[in-house]
Structure formats: structure tokens, C-alpha cells
Amino acid sequence: MKPDETVGYILKTVDYGDHGKILYAYTSSGIISAIARGVKKMHSPLRHLVQAGMLVTMHLSKSKFPTLKEASMVKYHQAIRNDIIKTTVASTVRELIYYNVNEHDDHPKLFNFVLKFLDVLDTTEAPLELLMVFEMKFLYFLGYGISFNRCSRCEVSEKLSLDLYTGMMFCEQHADENTSLIKHETYQPLQYYLHVDVLKFQPLKLNKTTQTILSNIIDSLYETHLSTKTKAKQLLKSID
């Protein structure tokens, strides 16, 4: 890759004028925006590249609000685009990134993880479980990771329960009767999703009821800590 080129995962696009788009792409330096002029014209060579979900190499002008001059595809991830569940999982990931990262985050680390995640999503037969891997790791990346190994109030590490809303762990002694506690046998898969190397991900093959319970737990944590409820995730629940 040339020094003036940037690899980006396009998170979203917005129409700009009659024929252009403003694109927002996630890169190893964070979210960047650029104007893609004339890309809605039928003869534009960039027309098929400037779409949400595309992983592209971009050549941008050197200005405060750069213009996309050239672009080339890095990977197409055809299986993602051919599968409605995988497509919506990818859309959920893009929304989570777009609305929650900031300039101070470790973008090289997250971007590298996103690239790996997309490769695995393209081949996996368990996209809904894989989404939970992303969600658990993304929470940790943002500073809201769950410490599953000990009570939040003491050093006890056995018979712990998970508070549905705060993500805090409590032993039997410190469990508050007014909290919504989840027992270990229920939340245990979330530990696997948090710690597994995404490239070594193997589905747990959970039944649909268990997947729904775990997904709802994650949704609750996101609403509590980030006030986030993505449209794509809501769509995913309606089509699953």
C-alpha cells in the first residue's frame, strides 16, 4: 500500500448533492469522512465500491475534508453479502463502531480485530454466536468488560451471579435481592465469547432459547453502559 493510501471499512454513506456521497469509514486511525464526488453516476468506476460494508483501499486528497480520488477493493466477503443474517450482523457491528468509538480509543487494535471478525463471519455457520463474540469484546474494548472471576465487593471467586443491568459479579453474601441476577450456568457462554480468539472461534451450538437469553443480557449491558440500541440488531431479532 502506498503512503497516501488508507484501508477503510465503510460504515455508512450519506447522499451529497445530486451525484455524490459522503462516506464514513473505519480505519486504523479511527473513523474518517470523505466526499466521493460523482459516484452515483452510472459510469462512475467507484459506484460499486462506495457502499456500506465494503472494505477498500482509499486514495484521499490532502485537505481538511478530503475527497476520495481513487479506491480499490481489499476483500469482497461474498458470503456475508449473500446471507441476510450475516449481512445484518455486519450492519450491527458497523452501527456499534460508528456510534461508540472516539478519538482516544486504540484504533489499530480494534481495526485489526474487525478485519479478523469479517473474515470469520464470511465463513462461519454460526453468525449470531459470532456477533456475541464481537459484542462482548467490544464492551471490554470500551472499558465496560465484565470481570467474571471475582465478586465486585470482595475476592470471592465461587458461586458468582451476574447482575443483568450493571455487569457486576456478586457472591452469595453480597447478592442484593433487588438486583436481577443471572446464575453461572446461564451466563457461562458469555465468558467463552469474551475470551476466545476470534480466529479460533468454534460455535457452542446453543439452542435458540439460550441464544435469545444471552443476546438479551448483552443488549441490557449495552443499554446500561452506552445507551445503545442499534436498528440493525432490532432487525436481526425480527428476521431470525
185, pLDDT greater than 70? yes
Q: Both 182 and 91 in a single domain?
A: yes
Q: Both 92 and 194 in a single domain?
A: yes
Q: Both 83 and 72 in a single domain?
A: no
CA 10 vs CA 17, 51, 56, 114: distances in Å:
19, 7, 8, 12
pTM assigned to the model: 0.92
For 235, the grid coordinates are 432487525
Q: Both 221 and 160 in a single domain?
A: yes
The 10s digit of each residue's pLDDT in 73-110 is 999 999 999 999 999 999 999 999 999 999 999 999 99
So what's the pLDDT on residue 175? 85
The helix (run of H) or strand (run of E) holding residue 17 is none
Q: Both 41 and 93 in a single domain?
A: no
Domain limits for position 135: 79-239
So what's the pLDDT on residue 44? 92
The 10s digit of each residue's pLDDT in 21-65 is 999 999 999 999 999 999 999 899 998 999 999 999 999 998 888
Q: From CA 13, how far away is CA 89, in angstroms rounded?
A: 18
CATH of the domain at 136: 1.20.1440.120
Q: Both 114 and 179 in a single domain?
A: yes
Interacting residues of 113 by C-beta distance below 8 A, sequence separation 6+ = 137, 141, 198
The 10s digit of each residue's pLDDT in 193-228 is 999 999 999 999 999 999 999 999 999 999 999 988
Q: Both 126 and 38 in a single domain?
A: no
Q: Both 61 and 153 in a single domain?
A: no
So what's the pLDDT on residue 165? 83
So what's the pLDDT on residue 1? 59
Q: Both 71 and 101 in a single domain?
A: no
The 10s digit of each residue's pLDDT in 1-18 is 566 789 999 999 999 988
Question: 114 — phi, psi (to 5°)?
Answer: -60, -40
Q: Both 44 and 93 in a single domain?
A: no
So what's the pLDDT on residue 12? 97
178, pLDDT greater than 80? no
Structural domains counted in the chain: 2
